[in-house]
Amino acid sequence: MTDALPGLDATASAPAVPRHAGYAIEDDLQARSPGGRPLRIAGVDEVGRGAWAGPVVVCAAVTDLSAPPELPGRGTKTVRLTDSKLLTEAHREAFADVLPAWLAGHAIGAASPAEIDELGMTGALRRAAVRALQALPEPPDIVLLDGKHDFLGAPWRVRTEIKADQRSVTVAAASVLAKVHRDRLMAALDAEFPGYGFAGSAGYPSPVHQKALEEHGPTPHHRMSWSYLDDLPRWRHLKRHRDPLTGEGQLSLL
């Protein structure tokens, strides 16, 4: 992490991952709070980092540290909140319907393909996350990020945690809401641009997506600085490049 709380270092290696998210990380942060002051913790997670098309989406979520909602499972079992990638699509959708009313606050931020091309992925992630954090009803005291890379930096007080989307209720909630929001957005684009498989792949690489690109080229929702264009001889000339000598934001067709 950065300077979230004095004397607290980032997790050096991946800890044991529980079967569902809990509040161990949040409890640790609260225990380290100066004077025991309650902390407003925003869990942040992103989706869309590796896609060829569509925005990168970030959700910031804040809980009141109460037990999260559960879904009915098979028989007497229940489905508990965890990383969105470990849930079925139906369970993600169901959680996305109930989480907003349960959360103390949440907000979505996004960075467009054009911003990804202009800023690079790290810069675009930061822009999307700042938009989400600034849209929260109240600013957080600390931001809990999934992974070991702090893409936010100052002035945000950040704690990074490996597998936080599986270990933290706060980050798991953000993971689900970000994923469902982006999937719905990409499904809506599928009707406008049929054939690219946006409803099924959400803009990520797939055989259907690759074939459509080869035949029809990129849409206005594609990232034009990405290497997939190198494999498309007919459209390679459209690729945009950032000049490292002129700084971020300088794009050209080379």
Q: Per the annotation, where are the binding residues for a divalent metal cation?
A: 45-46, 146
Please give the helix or strand (H or E) that residue 78 lies within, else none: strand 78-79
Helices (H), 149-247: 164-167, 169-192, 198-201, 207-216
Among all chains, which residue has been given the structure tokens 């690079």?
120
CB 43 within 8 A of CB 103: no
Print the SS3 string covering 126-172: HHHHHHHHHCCCCCCCEEEEECCCCCCCCCCCEEEECCHHHHEHHHH
Half-sphere exposure of 140 (CA within 13 A, CB side): 33
Tell me the C-alpha distance between 239 and 225, whole Å. Answer: 5
Helices (runs of H) and strands (runs of E) counted in the chain: 7, 9
Q: b/e for 149-174, b at 16 or more Cβ within 10 A?
A: ebbbeeebbbbbbbbbbbbbbbbbbb
Annotation: binding site = 45-46, 146
